[in-house]
Structure 1
Amino acid sequence: MQWCDLQGGDRIHHFEYGEGRIDYSGPSWILITWDDPSLPYKHHPSGLAQFLTRIEATPT
């Protein structure tokens, strides 16, 4: 996956960080809110997209 494949609100999974939500995805960085409260709200280089998997949102 590339940064341009991601949109705000997409649910994703990372092999190390777990699940989270995309807040913004741009050519330089991706902003993700992770589900694990011990992980801060972080900016990540857009290259991180290659390690993300899109997942289905859990119905509420």
Structure 2
Amino acid sequence: MTAIQNFWRHPLAEQVREEGRERGLEEGREQGRAEAKAEMILRVLQWRGVPVPEDVRERVEG
């Protein structure tokens, strides 16, 4: 059992975990930015009184 516990503390295992966290954070930031932009576009259209059909709304949010 100690061999398995030591594996998780191995520098290579720690490096792989850190790279995964960094990659996940960057992808999450990109997705968050895209969602915020889509939401703002829809709000501006709503403020200007432009009707947005549901299929168009889904494409913008997608």
Interval containing the TM-score (normalised by the shorter chain)? under 0.3
Q: TM-score, normalised by structure 1?
A: 0.16
The higher relative CO (CA closer than 8 Å, separation ≥ 6) is in: 1
Query: Which has the larger share of helix?
Result: 2
Query: Which has the larger share of strand?
Result: 1
